[in-house]
Structure 1
């Protein structure tokens, strides 16, 4: 059975997006500052070109991910990544109302029954591999429901001043984690991994 993980690229002051969905150009510079290419399955997202140190961590994580879980906001904001997520796995979208023009298929599955049902569906699709949870709201809901196993932070040297945090308005704070279990210094990014205390 795989793990349920979440992660985000984060500014030094703790934001994964700046005001009004800004700052991504600064947060994601590390996606293109290296020599190792990681292919993208999305027609709208170019391949990553990251440092060898980052690739040695990120590529195995991508390879061991069997499904992705996102919220409707991220799905809409990215325009569904052009039809396929860059990680080349089925994406479960938690939403209050599924899109009228989009049936479930090998690219996207829509769940309207809450975070537990969405994680269960993602686990079913992932099989023995991990489920990656993407987006601060989905991460918060998973953490509050006791469904999260690991947290990854890609810490970048920028200060955004304000914006969205990884876990948003967490109801049951403070929460402590074990670790960091992994610390990798890439180019323009420090990768940190933590275990959720159960």
Structure 2
């Protein structure tokens, strides 16, 4: 069964976006930390420029993925990834399908019947690979439901002071195992296994 890996970049003080919903500060390391070029792929492909350790970490992590699970806010912020996410079919947890979607030739799917359904659809699409999870609210829901297998967190060397927190609205602190650590330039890459303890059924926040 496919694993669920939360993949987010955040500030040292725990924010994934600033008060204006900007993410430039926390993702700056992907564009300015080195000279190794990495093409993201997907319909809206970008060329990233990272340090060698960050590039190796990024390529290793993304090679494990076969599908994406995320929330509506992240979908809107990314403008739908041009219709095709670089990491595989994308499943967007939402209450309402946005106007103009779904689109012909797109691998973006909208799930309106809850977290359990979104998880199952993403896992089915990923097959033997893992599901990459985006979005603070979606990650919080999965942690509260006991469905997340791993946290892959890129801690950028910035302090934001306020904004959108990654670990907010948690019912209880998750139990984490020992992390793997990769030191980049301006960022530290952490991968924590998450214990699969007993949790209540997921809600639909």
Calculate the TM-score normalised by the size of structure 2. Answer: 0.88
For 2:153 and 2:41, locate their aligned partners in 1 and report how far apart those are by CA, in whole Å: 23
Name the counterpart of 2:46: 46
Please, which runs of 5 or more residues in structure 1 have no aligned partner?
A: none
Q: Which runs of 4+ in 1 moved over 6 A?
A: none
Instruction: Report how many aligned residue pairs link the two structures.
Output: 194
Structure 2 segments unaligned to the other structure (5+ residues) = 197-205
Cα drift, residue 175 of structure 1: 2.5
Inter-partner Cα distance in structure 2 for 1:55 and 1:120: 30
Deviations 1:53-107 (A, max 9, x none): 112221021111000011111111221122222x241110111011242237552
Q: Distance in 2 between matches of 1:159 and 1:103?
A: 38
Q: Which residue of 1 aligns with 2:111?
A: 111
2:202 corresponds to: none
> Where in structure 2 are the equivalents of 1:43-122 lying within 5 Å?
43-85=43-85, 87-103=86-102, 106-122=106-122
8 Å CA contact retained: 1:41, 1:84: no
Name 2:175's counterpart in structure 1.
176
CA contact (8 A) 2:6 2:133 kept: yes
The aligned residue for residue 26 of structure 2 is: 27
Structure 2 counterpart of 1:188: 186
Please report the TM-score for the alignment, with normalisation by the length of structure 1.
0.91
